[in-house]
Structures are given as structure tokens and as C-alpha cells.
């Protein structure tokens, strides 16, 4: 069984780790005091912020589109900024899709790569959903195309990347006549962290979020703290802003690899704690296997008794989309199919 690093921040969820997992004390990176030490940390963080250890396994290609469906390149402009994106419209409902999924790629990925690896277009076709894949821009200081989830500017409502993405989503909702209960957001790694931010800040836009290998809003405030949080988890749940209980509830399904060496598994616990509280116990737990991997799945109910959070901890899985397609990067063909279960959860169906 995989070895899982668990610290105090993950204590409320320690019993959800796959049976037989070993514990050891998490050791974070040493923080240098000199300018040279900081520079070395930033250089060391580049492959880490790139989304995975080593090279991506996928091959660059264009997603296969069924006859009658559309997959087009578009550009969105807003007061907060602009981004390009790919839009998939299902052949079954090209003019009036039943819903919309905003898919946020991880570092070193792009919309086409992410669409191929998650096979989300094929699943959306079955359900008559549209899928939007925003593309993060490359720059001198962001060569890996990472969403800036770790900077305070992008952790608040009305500014930065969250405002751009929310504006894009609202635009598509108006264009296709889609209501909030049919609007969802999902992402991997940095994209998963940004999906958490959007769920926290724009509950009137998104009804559910799918987070794979992500991090909680407020768990970092710059590149150095992001590197520390990713490697060893946040110091305490007190550093994470709680979700506003007065806002519309945004249901969340969370996937995390127990053997992830890029995003510490405790970060998944932080996301759960921010959504339901760190002293809430699961209403249902089970341990099963799928695709050659064992997993522990827990459900947390909201005030009305409906499932608010579904949390999957996958034994032996690293920093990759569970059940993904090998033609895309950062995917693991083994394990439960994260895309299928996200769609099932979005549609309000139980496992």
C-alpha cells in the first residue's frame, strides 16, 4: 500500500486514508533567509508549480469530435482581463445545452490536452452539456501556464483571474440560457485550486465543483508559501477562510491521490474542512476498488441532509487525473474514473 504523509492539518481525515497506509512526519522545504536562498527556492519551485514530477506522459493532439458536435476557439474579454478558451457544444443539443462545465487545466497543460486526458467531451455529449476550457496565458513569470491560485490578488471576489472566469461563465449562461443549477466547475492541480476559489467566491454562478489534486483558498500567499503548502500541507486550518454559510451551498466532489508527491494529501482535507468544518464526521464511508486501485470514499451532508461534499482518497495514485486517458498529460488510467463520477455528482446522483 502507498505511504501517505499526514500532518496535524489532516488529522480529522486520517481515518479515511486507505487501510494499511503508513504515517510519517511531513517535512517541508527549508526557508533560506538570504536573497540567494529565496532565488534558489523559486527556481526549485518551477517544476513543482509545473504540475507534476517529471515530464508529462501525454501526446499533443486535437480532441476527436463526433459528427454534429462543435469544438471552437473563442476569446473572452471582461473588465478584469481576457482569456482565450475552447468551447465544446454537443451534437445532441448544440444550441440549447442542458448545462455547462468550466474545465480548468493544470500547469503545463492547455485546453486540448486537458480535454483529451479527462475525456470530458465524450461524457458531456451523453448528458447534452457544453464544456468550456479556458486557457491560462504564458508569460515571463508564468512559463508553465499556472492559474495564480496562490496570490492574494486572485483569492478575492471581483478581481483577477476568478473575476475573468466568472465573467466568462456568466456570458455563456446568457448565450445558451443556462441556469445556475446546471453550471459546474472542475480542475486539476492549479486548476483544482482555482475551482475551489470560484466555488467559494461565486456561489451564485456555480452549483457544484469538482476538485482533483487541488488546494484550499488562502492556503498560500506567494510562490514560496505555495511550495511549502504543496509539499507538506498548510500549517493549520485557521489559515483557510471558511466558506460563507449564508451563501448558496456549492456541492464539492474531491479526488486526491494518496501517493501524490506534488500536492500533499492533507490539502484535500483542508478543502473538506473549509466546506463543512474540521469537526464534522462523514455521514457515509466506504472502501472499495476500481481500475486496479483501492480507494476510500466519504460523504458529508449539509444542513438539509443532502450530500454537500464527496471525498475520494485513492491508494497508490500520484499527481494525475484518476481514470484519465493516456493520450493526455498527467493522467492515470488506473483507479476510479474521476470524470464519470464528477458528472454523476454534478447531476445529483449518488454513487
pLDDT (tens digit per residue) in 211-258: 999 999 999 999 999 999 999 886 544 445 656 656 789 999 999 999
| Nearest CA-CA partner of 156 in 245, 218, 230 | 218
How far is the C-alpha of 61 from the C-alpha of 83, rounded, in Å?
A: 21
pLDDT digits (tens, 9 = 90+) for 126-184: 999 999 999 998 887 688 999 999 999 999 999 999 999 999 999 999 999 999 999 99
Average pLDDT over residues 276-289: 92
pLDDT grade, residue 337 (50/70/90)?
very high
- Helix ranges (H only) for 119-159 are 120-127
In angstroms and rounded to an integer, the radius of gyration of the C-alpha atoms of the chain is 19
* Grid coordinates given for 222: 506567494
Amino acid at each position: 500500500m502507498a505511504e501517505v504523509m499526514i500532518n496535524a492539518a489532516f488529522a480529522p481525515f486520517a481515518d479515511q486514508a486507505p487501510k494499511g497506509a503508513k504515517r510519517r512526519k511531513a517535512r517541508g522545504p527549508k526557508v533560506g533567509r538570504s536573497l540567494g536562498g529565496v532565488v534558489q527556492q523559486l527556481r526549485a519551485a518551477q517544476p513543482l508549480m509545473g504540475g507534476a514530477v517529471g515530464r508529462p506522459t501525454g501526446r499533443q493532439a486535437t480532441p476527436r469530435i463526433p459528427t454534429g458536435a462543435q469544438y471552437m476557439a473563442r476569446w473572452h474579454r471582461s473588465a478584469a482581463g481576457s482569456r482565450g478558451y475552447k468551447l465544446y457544444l454537443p451534437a445532441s443539443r448544440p444550441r440549447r445545452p442542458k448545462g455547462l462545465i468550466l474545465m480548468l487545466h493544470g500547469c503545463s497543460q492547455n485546453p486540448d490536452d486537458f480535454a483529451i486526458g479527462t475525456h470530458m467531451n465524450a461524457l458531456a455529449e451523453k448528458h447534452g452539456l457544453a464544456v468550456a476550457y479556458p486557457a491560462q496565458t504564458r508569460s515571463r513569470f508564468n512559463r508553465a501556464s499556472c492559474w495564480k491560485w496562490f496570490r492574494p490578488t486572485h483569492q478575492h471576489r471581483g478581481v483577477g483571474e476568478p473575476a475573468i472566469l466568472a465573467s466568462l461563465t456568466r456570458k455563456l449562461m446568457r448565450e445558451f440560457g443556462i441556469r445556475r443549477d446546471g453550471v459546474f466547475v472542475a480542475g486539476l492541480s492549479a486548476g483544482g485550486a482555482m475551482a475551489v476559489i470560484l466555488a467559494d467566491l461565486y456561489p451564485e454562478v456555480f452549483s457544484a465543483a469538482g476538485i482533483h489534486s487541488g488546494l484550499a483558498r488562502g492556503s498560500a500567499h506567494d510562490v514560496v508559501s505555495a511550495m511549502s503548502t504543496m509539499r507538506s500541507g498548510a500549517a493549520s486550518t485557521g489559515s483557510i477562510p471558511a466558506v460563507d454559510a449564508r451563501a448558496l451551498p456549492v456541492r464539492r466532489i474531491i479526488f486526491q491521490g494518496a501517493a501524490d508527491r506534488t500536492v500533499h494529501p492533507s490539502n484535500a482535507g483542508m478543502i473538506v474542512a473549509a466546506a463543512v468544518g474540521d469537526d464534522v464526521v462523514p455521514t457515509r464511508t466506504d472502501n472499495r476498488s476500481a481500475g486496479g486501485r483501492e480507494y476510500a470514499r466519504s460523504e458529508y451532508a449539509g444542513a438539509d441532509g443532502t450530500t454537500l461534499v464527496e471525498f475520494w482518497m485513492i491508494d497508490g495514485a500520484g499527481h494525475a487525473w484518476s481514470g484519465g486517458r493516456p493520450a493526455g498529460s498527467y493522467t492515470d488510467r488506473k483507479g476510479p474514473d474521476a470524470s464519470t463520477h464528477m458528472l454523476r455528482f454534478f447531476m445529483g446522483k449518488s454513487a
